[in-house]
A = this chain, B = another copy of it.
Amino acid sequence: MSPPSPRRNDQDARPSRGIPEATVARLPVYLRALTGLADRGIATASSEELARAAGVNSAKLRKDLSYLGSYGTRGVGYDVEYLRYQIAREIGLTQDWPVVIVGIGNLGHALANYSGFVSRGFGIVGLLDADPARVGERVGDHVIQAYNELERVVSEYGVAIGVISTPATAAQEVCDRMVAAGITSVLNFAPVVLSVPPGVDVRKVDLSTELQILAYHEQRKALAGPGPLSQVDGLPAERSPLIP
């Protein structure tokens, strides 16, 4: 009966706004694919070639890139270096992001030594640990500092992104303290669901969740029987238990 209610129109915003989440999550993949092409001396790539390098289909890639603007040339393709820069700018990698890591156990060491960290616009400005025995230890180019230094490091370097690689039991309290100190984005490696106030982003990386998702699909493959056509002319593929 009544006309559709007037709705806030996304057109009002700048074109750089409102990129779908699914697209945002793929931009880093495109960026990496472009870097790979550039390293191999390739100056121009079609959506088809770029999509292959990124592991997606070309329709999706073109749709994704269309949210950023028109950076391709019809009949030609995309200039690798130009597109790479545009995506980096869109993500915000034309500036450096200071990052603090709390919890320097095995995983924290691995993160601190991860070269992709520095090379991609992120810089570690603090490695913090609550264990006094670890404070002062050298890890890569850095020295582990006391957890108590968190507020100082965050304000001194203007840290916006914090990484949590503590045990699960400590993660929420570390997160709370990060947020109180001014951090508004958290990358969490601890296997807990973190509570944060509105305006704070949390992303979670969870080994055991990933393994469980694989196990689910693996189990279904076994149930479906061996062979790509899921023929059921034999018993399900046998899997040995842990003891051989």
Contact = CB atoms under 8 A, between A and B. Distances in A.
Interface of A: 17, 19, 24-25, 27-29, 31-33, 53-55, 90-93, 95-99, 105-107, 109-111, 113-114, 116-117, 120-123, 125, 156-158, 160-161, 184-187, 191, 193, 195, 198-199, 201, 203, 205-221, 228, 238-242, 244
A110 B116 contact: no
A205 B158 CA distance: 27
Nearest to A161: B214
A117 B216 contact: no
A158 B109 contact: no
A242 B217 CA distance: 43
- The copy count of this chain in the complex is 2
Contacts of A228: 198-199
B97 A106 contact: no
Nearest to A194: B55
B29 A213 contact: no
B187 A214 contact: yes
A212 B212 CA distance: 25
Contact of A97 (B27, B117, B160, B215): B215
Given A208-B120, A212-B120, A213-B24, A96 B53 contact: no
Nearest to A153: B244
B211 A120 contact: yes
A121 B54 CA distance: 32
Nearest to A244: B156
A105 to B, nearest CB: 7
Given A98-B240, A158-B239, A240-B158, A111 B207 contact: yes
